[in-house]
Homo-oligomer: A and B are copies of this chain.
Amino acid sequence: MAVGEDVLPALHPIAGLRLGTASAGVKKPGRRDLVVIELAVDATSAGLFTRNAFCAAPVQVARNHLAQAAPRYWVINTGNANAGMGADGLIRAESVCAALAAQTGVATAQVLPFSTGVIGEPLPAERIVAALPAAVAALDADGWALAAEGILTTDTRPKGASRRVRLPGGATLTVTGIAKGAGMIRPDMATMLAFVATDARVGAPLLKKMLVAAAEKSFNRITIDGDTSTNDALMLAATGAVAAELDGATLAALGDAVTEVCTDLAQAVVRDGEGATKFLTIAVAGGSSSAECLAVGYAVAESPLVKTALFACDPNWGRILAAIGRARVDALDVERISVWLDEVLIAERGARAASYTEAAGQDVMARAEITIRIELGRGTCAETLWTTDLSYDYVRINAEYRT
């Protein structure tokens, strides 16, 4: 299940970047499970990685390589996360990088590996290496859509987004990205796998700032089940194919486009959340700090009781109040709190709103996309995040994942 339309938008090619997808048979024979992304010689890259202490081997290798050299290749396999495998996992991840480097004539440190899939099984590196020539032969600037398919695991649909920014001189900058991820998503610094690129020329330090700002409003504001993966990575490349020098206003517009692409991708991940039947926006306002807005937002977004009530289309606003109440906000005055489901005020001054009717609540609950708006009445800070309901299918998918 997934919420909203299943249409991959047009993914504009990025000059200076090509993508090749092949079948390595990592988990299942025949499925396209290997993607190689090639970056121009003078491209810059920035990356954000999981903060899970058990970060997977490819994350360790990617972080290490990124510190040594400007990447020329990103290589992504699905079906196996190469996580929890100790030193052997590192050797296997390095061997994939070395093979691709040898084949393309770059240094091993110029190749970043990414893996997603089951944790705790040896990466079949030899099968991946054997399929690299096919992926390299398939490299194509129009390879985005195939690559979007090639990086999926339990996702039910590919995820991509694209934006264009017109420059004052008439040139156009493009930002395009793809993502995978359907569960185990509670980002902190980065989340699941996402690969975004632009044809602008941007120095690596500035690119990193742009990526951090974008993540903070997109991938760091979504949650499915509170779990943070061992393999999460978010990459942004700038190929420099559009050579124009960018002034402050243009850089800001480019940054906005990157944030928009990341937000589209992050929301697409939530819409495709495991077993999702609803897409929920949790908007918390009136907080005295951003942190307390997020604490309240995540308490609501991750409450199994709130999520099962939403799955059941039950306007059980009491569970929302209970979740707000346990968010550990200092000296929270429940008398100041109001809660809306879309346009319907359901609770005010910490109790059921006088104007609220069960019929009005039911009407909202029938919708596939719902905003829970919470006013704390303590200040001027606000935060928005996105999540899903909790359904039978979430349990089924996660109970059957390895079988």
Contact = CB atoms under 8 A, between A and B. Distances in A.
A52 B337 CA distance: 14
Interface stretch (A14-22, A239-247, A262-270, A311-319): A311-319
Contact of A395 (B85, B183, B311): B311
Given A120-B352, A395-B391, A230 B86 contact: no
Contacts of A402: 314, 316
Nearest to A119: B318
A119 B322 contact: yes
A378 to B, nearest CB: 12
A52 B399 contact: no
B400 A323 contact: no
- How many copies of this chain does the complex contain? 2
Contact of A322 (B54, B317, B349, B390): B54
Interface string A220-239: 00000111111000000000
A390 B183 CA distance: 15
A52 B320 CA distance: 12
Contact of A227 (B55, B230, B322): B322
Given A312-B400, A351-B89, A84 B392 contact: no
Contact of A334 (B53, B226, B350): B53
Give the secondary structure class of A's interface.
loop
A309 B399 contact: yes
A51 interface: yes
A350 B86 contact: yes
Contacts of A89: 351
Contacts of A392: 392, 395-396
Given A86-B351, A311-B399, A334 B303 contact: no
B309 A227 contact: no
Given A85-B351, A322-B229, A322-B230, A308 B54 contact: no
Nearest to A120: B318
Interface in A371-403: 390-392, 394-396, 398-403
A325 interface: yes
B399 A54 contact: no
A226 B399 contact: no
Given A326-B53, A399-B312, A226 B321 contact: no
A302 interface: yes
A305 interface: yes
A91 interface: no
B317 A120 contact: yes
A302 B299 CA distance: 13
A89 to B, nearest CB: 7
Nearest to A231: B322
A83 B321 CA distance: 10
Contact of A84 (B186, B228, B321): B321
Given A119-B318, A230-B321, 17 more contacts: A52-B322, A53-B324, A53-B329, A54-B325, A83-B321, A84-B321, A88-B351, A119-B316, A119-B322, A120-B321, A227-B304, A227-B326, A228-B326, A304-B390, A308-B399, A312-B400, A314-B402
Pick the 4 closest A-B CB pairs, nearest first: A119-B318, A86-B351, A54-B325, A312-B399
26 contacts: A52-B325, A52-B326, A53-B329, A54-B321, A54-B325, A83-B321, A84-B322, A84-B351, A86-B349, A86-B351, A88-B351, A89-B351, A119-B316, A184-B322, A227-B323, A230-B318, A230-B321, A304-B394, A304-B398, A308-B399, A312-B403, A314-B402, A316-B401, A316-B402, A392-B395, A395-B395
Interface of A: 51-55, 81, 83-89, 118-120, 183-184, 186, 225-230, 302-305, 308-309, 311-312, 314, 316-319, 321-327, 329, 332, 334, 347, 349-352, 390-392, 394-396, 398-403
